[in-house]
Structure 1
Amino acid sequence: MQPIAHIWRNTGQSVRDFVADKRALAATEFAVIVPLMLVMFFGTIEFSSAVAVDRKVTMIARTLSDLTSQSTGVNDGDMQDTFTASISIVMPYDPTLVNGTVVQIKIDSSSVAKVQWSKSATIANGATQATLTAPPSSLAPGTTVTSMIPSTLLIPSTYLIFSQASYAYTPPVTFFLKSGITLSDVSYTRPRQVTCVSYNNVAC
């Protein structure tokens, strides 16, 4: 039988050797840290991409209303150019996923707001020009839209140019977001040069 002192010496040496041996430490740290780093990496990609697209959607909505409000009158050709230029802001992201709408709203003397004219547009795959489409039923001409107008803009006997843009966003990685979401924004401006912007020479 080995002396107790010898056993303690061997045990102590084994413990010291175990503590000093760091060969598996790096592998353990790597196994613990890598999943967290991957989550952060893919999460950052998805978040930054969504933020970039969302900002472009805001710019599209503002550009649509701004360009229209600077006109004295517009027609189908003018609106097609306006939509083409505005939707193209989303590049290098896919412009075919953008839908834009421009509306002129008349606020009568009783502060009731109604759609006077409205147009929507998209850019088809492979096309260089926007294609005009029918607006959503909620923004069809003659529709009352008083509830959607901010109270500070609901001024009797005035006109508003309203625009909205939306983008069917699908994350490139689908790590956190497993399905697409719709990013959208709206903008309001007043006609700049005239009381109201006529469409196809139809008087306001």
Structure 2
Amino acid sequence: MRPARAFLAALGRPIRRFLGAERGVAAIEFAVILPILLVLLLTGTQVVIYINASRKVGQVARSISQMVSQAKPPSDNSTTTATVNALDLHFSFDAAMVIFPYLLNDAKRQNLSWWGDISINYASIAFLKGNATCNDPADQSACYTANVVWTSTGTAQPYGANYRPCSTPQLPADNTAAPSRTALPRSVFGPATLIVIDVVFNFTPTLGSKFFPAIKIARSAYVQPRYASLINYDTTNNDGIATKCPGY
């Protein structure tokens, strides 16, 4: 009996040590949890980058609209209409590199030129009242027709045509509707003119891009001219970046 007891006692010692050991359990738990933690960390990083990109796209639209809206009429007061030319549009377009520096790295990563990684479009809008007796302070979209004065048909269109077309009145849309090249928010309709900047950027995750599709970020800015009744386009030395619409 003694040899059997001694054998069982000798066998029981490593079993008790195994059952009481915590190092192995901790290692197993860490091996199971580590992939989940890495996924959460990488996902959180991508979400932060996306949020920042979304903010920057909106900032590009607002900043460029402010640049163009500050065009001034002639100093001799011969007209209240101001003009911008191709050089002005190229200058403000290139400002996107400074406002949104992530664009440069993202374009390089995808083997693209930076202007081929973002769509920036310009348009000047004139509102014409269709009915003299129409007057709805809450919603004037039924009283006015929104016509495109000029549009940037010559800027890069990497995600399909996003410029606002000539000879097609812009339709009123809900203020919360997504930006559209053929519509304007109802709240901007009225006795005025607008500069509209439409920016589209496809956010491609830096990790897992083969498994996750790009996310479209579209932002638009609507600004009234600061010093002029209308901002038109000067076609002198035009290189094709913009087109002046018929009638203007």
* TM-score, length-scaled by structure 2: 0.66
The answer to whether 1:196 aligns with 2:221 is no
Q: How does 1:69-88 map to 2 (within 5 A)?
A: 69-71=69-71, 72-88=82-98
Q: How does 1:33-112 map to 2 (within 5 A)?
A: 33-71=33-71, 72-94=82-104, 95-96=114-115, 97-110=117-130, 111-112=144-145
Output the CA distance in 2 between the equivalents of 1:175 and 1:14: 49
Relative to 1, partners in 2 of residues 1:56 and 1:99: Cα closer, same or farther, differing over 3 Å?
same
Count matched residues.
191
- Equivalent pair of 1:87/1:98 in contact (CA under 8 Å): no
Greater share of residues in helix: 1
Q: Percent identity?
A: 23
- Equivalent pair of 1:60/1:87 in contact (CA under 8 Å): no
Output the CA distance in 1 between the equivalents of 2:95 and 2:20: 67
Q: Which residue of 2 aligns with 1:141?
A: 166
AA in 2 matched with 1:173: L
Relative to 1, partners in 2 of residues 1:59 and 1:167: Cα closer, same or farther, differing over 3 Å?
same
- Unaligned runs of 5+ residues in structure 1 are 123-131
Output the CA distance in 2 between the equivalents of 1:87 and 1:93: 7
The answer to whether 1:160 aligns with 2:215 is no
Q: 1:99: Cα distance to partner? A: 1.2
Q: 1:136: Cα distance to partner? A: 3.4
Runs of 4+ in 1 over 4 A off after TM superposition: 5-16, 201-204
Q: Which residue of 1 aligns with 2:140?
A: none
Q: Match of 1:136, SS?
A: coil
**RMSD of the TM alignment (CA)?**
3.1
In structure 2, which of residues 185, 189, 198 is the aligned counterpart of residue 150 of structure 1? 185
- Unaligned runs of 5+ residues in structure 2 are 72-81, 105-113, 131-143, 173-182, 236-243
Output the CA distance in 2 between the equivalents of 1:11 and 1:44: 49
Q: Match of 2:152, SS?
A: strand
